[in-house]
């Protein structure tokens, strides 16, 4: 389809994780409880039922996978050494807010939590790995949810601001790349994980979500401001759960539907990258009668402190139709979309569309003209180790290879600016969507199952050596 050329010098190859999906040690060294800890495996994972607040603590009869996860907290040296062996240029990880501020609203920091991340960043630097740090990856201290209602409350901006001051100062010189909120658009689909939201009976949920979104957007602009003040070298990015919508047919009403659904997602990035609420969003709030309080100061912050780059996760494209009769949905990254008959799907039903990555890269580039960073992409699959514990994951290699090809075409043929690529779950970890361990993305197999049994032993998969070769050749050798 296209000429495969070199990747730019300094392209940041690496892998991505999130604190709650890999650290474990949920109560070690003063860490406070967070929303991500109390979501059990399986169907009861996101019971955001109005008036039902059961997820403020652990309950009998459930298994909570994030409690121990893959215990990166105690294995980080071993894991980072393996990433270094693969030649990672960057490692995406997140900070657990409740390790640093166990409750979230206190003035004192928890030194043990701060020291932990300092050690992790130093360990990365030891190997020349650039940390890429998500400040909030779906986590919110439980105390802030119970006492303030999560991000629905404006006070959250102050608590987040305090966290930013602390981490930007403490990790100055160690961390340069920051992401403010993981998949910020997820707040509309998974509000408990996205923003610590639960709803009271009879509440206008749409209004609460957009109000919380506004608070996160202002907090994100503030973070960008502080990051630049503390160290002009800092680069701050927004983060979108991306995947372009295709119209189901050439019928203009389907095209319109696809555009509307894209706008629902791009709305967040429009604010973070362009600095103001787009007119279509203002009109939507007006039409739905949503009361979102915005101060003049908020609007100025948004305007003056836009992000330096746009990062996103990409797993699949999506399909939209205006026809209410069409209901056959595919599974997906929390979003369910219509099935695309031209695409195959993963074992979890996520449709696989490498060209969709090129389409998405171009759509985002055309919209913002800011450097981009693909910070998640990968295949969740069942891996079956042989008698030596080795996994021949050619399916994963194929998936990644096809996506790297279209990423290459977007850079070399379309001229988009791309800073780097971090594959999701570079080491097996707990799934955010289902809580399963069985859904593996890694180059490194971790011996742990859905029930939390296993030795936690790390074993390189076939894809480990393949990715090592990809990085060593700066993406020239992907065979
Ligand atoms: C993204 C998240 O939604 O997709 C990650 O940022 C998540 O946290 C990833 O793990 C893959 O989703 P899942 O449900 O397969 O873990």
* Count of beta carbons in the 10 Å neighbourhood of residue 201: 8
* pLDDT over 70 (residue 49): no
Whether 376 is catalytic is yes
186: Cα within 13 Å, side-chain hemisphere? 27
- Identify the pLDDT of residue 378: 98
- Identify the pLDDT of residue 55: 75
Whether the CB of 139 sits within 6 Å of ligand 1: no
- Among candidate residues 183, 216, 376, 436, the one labeled active-site is 376
**pLDDT band of 407, cuts 50, 70, 90:** very high
pLDDT digits (tens, 9 = 90+) for 124-152: 999 999 999 999 999 999 999 999 999 99
* pLDDT over 60 (residue 60): yes
Per DSSP bridges, beta strands 344-345 and 351-352 are antiparallel
Give the separation between CA 463 and CA 466, rounded to whole angstroms. 5
Whether the CB of 439 sits within 6 Å of ligand 1: yes
User: Looking at residues 455-465, what average pLDDT do you find?
Assistant: 98
- Identify the pLDDT of residue 330: 78
Alpha carbon nearest to ligand 1 atom 5, residue? 432
Give the separation between CA 308 and CA 413, rounded to whole angstroms. 24
- Identify the pLDDT of residue 48: 56
**pLDDT band of 88, cuts 50, 70, 90:** very high
- Identify the pLDDT of residue 108: 98
> What tokens does 37 get?
């800890």
- Identify the pLDDT of residue 329: 78
Domain assignment present for residue 370? The answer is: yes
Q: Which among 213, 358, 184, 364 is positioned nearest to 285, based on CA atoms?
A: 213
Domain assignment present for residue 4? The answer is: no
What CATH number is attached to the domain comprising 109?
A: 3.20.20.80
Domain assignment present for residue 205? The answer is: yes
Instruction: Among 430, 433, 434, say which to mutate for ligand 1: greatest number of ligand atoms within 8 Å of CB.
Output: 433
The Å distance, Cα 9 to ligand 1 centre, comes to: 29
User: Looking at residues 188-195, what average pLDDT do you find?
Assistant: 90
**pLDDT band of 13, cuts 50, 70, 90:** very high
Q: Which domain holds residue 375?
A: 12-247+265-319+344-472
Whether the CB of 424 sits within 6 Å of ligand 1: yes
The Å distance, Cα 294 to ligand 1 centre, comes to: 31
Atom index in ligand 1 nearest the CA of residue 182 equals 6
Domain assignment present for residue 255? The answer is: no
Atom index in ligand 1 nearest the CA of residue 380 equals 15
User: Looking at residues 285-301, what average pLDDT do you find?
Assistant: 97
> What tokens does 300 get?
């100025």
**pLDDT band of 5, cuts 50, 70, 90:** confident
* pLDDT over 80 (residue 208): yes
User: Looking at residues 368-392, what average pLDDT do you find?
Assistant: 97
Cα torsion 219, 220, 224, 227: sign: positive
Instruction: Among 94, 237, 239, 333, say which to mutate for ligand 1: greatest number of ligand atoms within 8 Å of CB.
Output: 333
pLDDT digits (tens, 9 = 90+) for 210-246: 999 999 999 999 999 999 999 999 999 999 999 999 9
DSSP assignment string, 218-241:
HHHHHHHHHHHHH-TT-EEEEEEE
Per DSSP bridges, beta strands 329-330 and 177-181 are unpaired
User: Looking at residues 370-396, what average pLDDT do you find?
Assistant: 97
* pLDDT over 80 (residue 43): no
**pLDDT band of 200, cuts 50, 70, 90:** confident
Domain assignment present for residue 479? The answer is: no
User: Looking at residues 385-402, what average pLDDT do you find?
Assistant: 97
- Identify the pLDDT of residue 102: 98
- Identify the pLDDT of residue 54: 61
What is the distance in angstroms between the CA of the first residue and the CA of the last residue of the chain? 16
CB 40 within 8 A of CB 436: no
User: Looking at residues 159-173, what average pLDDT do you find?
Assistant: 98
Domain assignment present for residue 465? The answer is: yes
* Number of domains the chain contains: 1
Domain assignment present for residue 254? The answer is: no
- Identify the pLDDT of residue 334: 66
- pTM for this prediction: 0.97
Whether the CB of 18 sits within 6 Å of ligand 1: yes
Which segment of 44-48, 76-80, 417-421 scores lowest on mean pLDDT? 44-48
Length, in residues, of the chain: 479
Whether the CB of 333 sits within 6 Å of ligand 1: yes
- Identify the pLDDT of residue 53: 58
* Count of beta carbons in the 10 Å neighbourhood of residue 387: 5
- 3-state class (DSSP) for residue 136: strand
- Identify the pLDDT of residue 201: 84
Average pLDDT, the chain: 95
Give the separation between CA 109 and CA 331, rounded to whole angstroms. 40
The vertex-468 CA angle with 463 and 473, nearest 5°, equals 130
* pLDDT over 80 (residue 459): yes
Whether the CB of 432 sits within 6 Å of ligand 1: yes
User: Looking at residues 160-187, what average pLDDT do you find?
Assistant: 98
The Å distance, Cα 283 to ligand 1 centre, comes to: 32
Domain assignment present for residue 86? The answer is: yes
Q: Cite the DSSP H helix spans in 35-154.
A: 72-86, 97-100, 111-126, 142-148
- 3-state class (DSSP) for residue 55: helix
């Amino acid at each position: 389809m296209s000429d495969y050329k070199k990747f730019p010098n300094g392209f940041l190859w690496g892998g991505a994780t999130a604190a709650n999906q890999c650290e474990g040690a949920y109560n070690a060294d003063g860490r406070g409880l967070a929303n991500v800890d109390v979501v059990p495996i399986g169907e009861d994972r996101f019971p955001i039922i109005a008036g039902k607040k059961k997820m403020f603590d652990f309950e009998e009869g459930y298994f909570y996978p994030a409690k121990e996860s893959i215990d990166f907290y105690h294995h980080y040296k071993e894991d980072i050494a393996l990433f270094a062996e693969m030649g990672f240029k960057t490692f995406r990880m997140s900070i657990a807010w409740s390790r640093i501020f166990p409750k979230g609203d206190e003035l004192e920091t928890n030194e043990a939590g701060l020291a932990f991340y300092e050690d992790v960043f130093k360990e990365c630097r030891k190997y020349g790995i650039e940390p890429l740090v998500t400040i909030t990856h779906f986590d919110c201290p439980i105390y802030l949810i119970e006492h303030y209602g999560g991000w629905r409350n404006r006070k959250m901006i102050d608590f987040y601001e305090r966290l930013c001051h602390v981490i930007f100062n403490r990790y100055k010189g160690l961390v340069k790349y920051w992401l403010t909120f993981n998949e910020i658009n997820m707040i509309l689909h998974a509000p408990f994980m996205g923003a610590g939201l639960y709803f009271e009976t009879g509440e206008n949920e749409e209004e609460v979500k957009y109000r919380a979104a506004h608070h996160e957007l202002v907090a994100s602009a503030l973070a960008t401001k502080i990051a630049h003040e503390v160290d002009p070298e800092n680069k701050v990015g927004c983060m979108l759960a991306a995947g372009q919508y295709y119209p189901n047919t050439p019928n203009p009403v389907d095209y319109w539907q696809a555009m509307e659904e894209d706008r629902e997602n791009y709305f967040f990035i429009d604010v973070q990258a362009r600095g103001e609420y787009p007119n279509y969003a203002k009109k939507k709030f007006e039409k739905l009668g949503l009361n979102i309080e915005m101060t003049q100061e908020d609007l100025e912050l948004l305007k003056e402190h836009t992000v330096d780059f746009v990062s996103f996760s990409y797993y699949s494209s999506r399909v939209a139709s205006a026809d209410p009769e069409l209901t056959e949905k595919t599974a997906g990254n929390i979003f369910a979309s219509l099935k695309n008959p031209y695409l195959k799907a993963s074992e979890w039903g996520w449709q696989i569309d490498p060209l969709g990555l090129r389409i998405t890269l171009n759509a985002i580039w055309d919209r913002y003209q800011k450097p981009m960073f693909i910070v998640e992409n990968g295949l969740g699959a069942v891996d079956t180790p042989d008698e030596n514990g080795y996994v021949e994951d050619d399916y994963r290699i194929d998936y990644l290879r096809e996506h790297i090809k279209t990423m290459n075409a977007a850079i070399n043929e379309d001229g988009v600016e791309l800073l780097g690529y971090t594959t999701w779950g570079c080491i097996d970890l707990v799934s955010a969507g289902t809580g399963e361990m069985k859904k593996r993305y890694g180059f490194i197999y971790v011996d742990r199952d859905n029930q939390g049994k296993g030795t936690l032993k790390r074993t390189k998969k076939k894809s480990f050596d393949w990715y090592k070769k990809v990085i060593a050749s700066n993406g020239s050798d992907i065979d």
